[in-house]
Amino acid sequence: MTTSAPPLRLVATVLHLAVYGTIGIGILSAFFALLATGIGLLPVLGFGLVILVGLVYALYGLAWFEIARVNGLYRLDAAPLAMRRPVQRGFAGWLKSLLAQLKNGRMWWAAASFALSVLLGALLVGTVQTLLDSLVLLITPGAATNWLTLILPAGSDGSSSVLLAIGGAVLSLGLMVGLALLHRVIATAIIGSQAREERLEAQVQQSSQQRAGAVRAADVERIRIERDLHDGVQPRLVSVGMTLGLAQQQIDQDPRAAKELIAEAHTSTKAAITELRQLARGIHASVLDDRGLDAALSALAGRSHIPVALDVRLTGRVDRDAESAVYFVVAESLTNAAKHSRASECRVAVRLRDTDPDPAEGPARVLWARVEDNGIGGAQVQPGGGLDGLTNRVLAAGGTIRIESPQGGPTAVEVSVPCAS
């Protein structure tokens, strides 16, 4: 909540209370009348149910308006009230969503804020009437007749009326300011506390998603390493062992053939070492720690089997988790483009962007990256696949990822990861 222009906000609060005090009692009376009518008509073929259901929706609308009003008046950051959506189709799903809405504490707290505002507004309307009576008595002390004159002693002169009028006006203005300040305290305590609870719930949910993403990303990475070792390096090393065994058997009888087998084993060993290096690079990119994201992505682009247009605009280093997440997103996207998309080129853009400032935490920055190829598209997130690993790695870093891959292409992967530069 901001504190700019408090006098104007005080005047706005007085106007709000004046409106609530004028029409709010009628609205509350209508709600209670509908409630009594709905309950009374329940035995009559259930007609009262229709009224009660309509009353729930009307109460939701009233609570939504109250939250929006307090948000706008006091610059709170409470989220708008949302109607509970059915989780299943049909009448049963609709009925469950209606019952869930009845259990929504935010709706009832907002309705309570409305009722208290109406009560304060009614008191303020009476205070305004007292202020007007005081002004009339001050202007025409001898001729005016209102309830203030009834408390004057018999035979009082005009000076007593003036003093009473001044006292009534000062007291009325003080009560108006007090009611406005009391409304501010009550409304911000009710609606503002709900906003704090929402932020805490969102943080807990985000933490749970990050934890689940980290666990899932670790599982996917472990499965990938096992698959690469089992399908790649292990058979090659077995082949090297068998080739060396044949060379050992023929080294006395046919030294030339044995030498050829040893050369073949040497070539296979170098290929296995290369595969192990690539596998280790997929687990941890040392160049990322040593030289930063720009250099690491340049190395990726240089090793890519398809041309890569790299556009990295960073003014310095950011935190390691963000750099690592973006690096592996780009690496996996380039690998998928080369293996599956039949792309002839790929574009990679990386930026450091400012996000909208959080009222509680202030402005933040995100590391944004987009990888796009001109392939055939149709990429889907499969459990245990590369895109699944990317998604969980980004979630573990607290970021968001969006994958667009319509049939016919192009495929685009866009990721934003919060960071501290």
Contact assessment for residue 405 and residue 420, using Cβ atoms and an 8 Å cutoff: no
**Which of 118-127, 225-234, 235-244, 319-328 has the lowest average pLDDT?**
225-234
Give the separation between CA 144 and CA 164, rounded to whole angstroms: 13
Structure confidence at residue 155 as a pLDDT band (50, 70, 90)? very low
pLDDT tens-digit readout, 211-239:
655 556 565 566 666 666 666 677 777 88
Bigger pLDDT: 416 or 268? 416
Of the CA atoms within 13 Å of residue 367, those in its CB half-sphere come to: 28
Res 303 pLDDT > 70? yes
Q: Which of 18-32, 44-58, 96-110, 406-420 reaches the highest mean pLDDT?
A: 18-32
Please say if the pLDDT value at position 343 is more than 90: no
Q: What pLDDT does residue 421 have?
A: 56
Q: What value does the mean pLDDT take over residues 156-168? A: 66
Q: How far is CA 167 from CA 159, 160, 171, in A?
A: 12, 10, 6
Q: State the Cα–Cα distance between residues 374 and 308, nearest whole angstrom.
A: 11
Is 308:301 a contact under the CB 8 Å cutoff?
Answer: yes
Per-residue pLDDT tens digits for 350-407: 998 877 555 445 447 888 999 999 888 887 777 766 677 777 778 777 888 888 888 8
Q: Between 3.30.565.10, 1.10.287.470, 3.40.640.10, 3.40.50.150, what CATH number should domain 286-419 receive?
A: 3.30.565.10
Predicted pLDDT of residue 2: 43
The tens digit of pLDDT for each residue in 68-99 reads 898 888 888 777 777 777 666 777 777 788 88
Model confidence at 123, in pLDDT bands (50, 70, 90)? very high
Statement: residue 305 has pLDDT above 60: yes
pLDDT band at 208 (very low <50, low <70, confident <90, very high): low
CA dihedral 334, 303, 268, 339 (to 10 degrees): 20
pTM for the whole structure? 0.50
Share of the chain above pLDDT 90, in %: 7
Q: What is the band of 121 on the pLDDT scale with cuts at 50, 70, 90?
A: very high
- State the burial class of residue 96 (Cβ atoms within 10 Å of its Cβ: 0-12, 13-18, 19+): middle
Q: Count of CB atoms within 10 A of residue 285's CB?
A: 20
Q: Which of 240, 251, 216 lies closest to 381 in space, CA to CA? A: 216
Spatial separation of the C-alpha atoms in residues 418 and 421, rounded to whole Å: 10
pLDDT tens figures, 29-62: 999 898 888 888 888 767 788 888 888 889 999 9
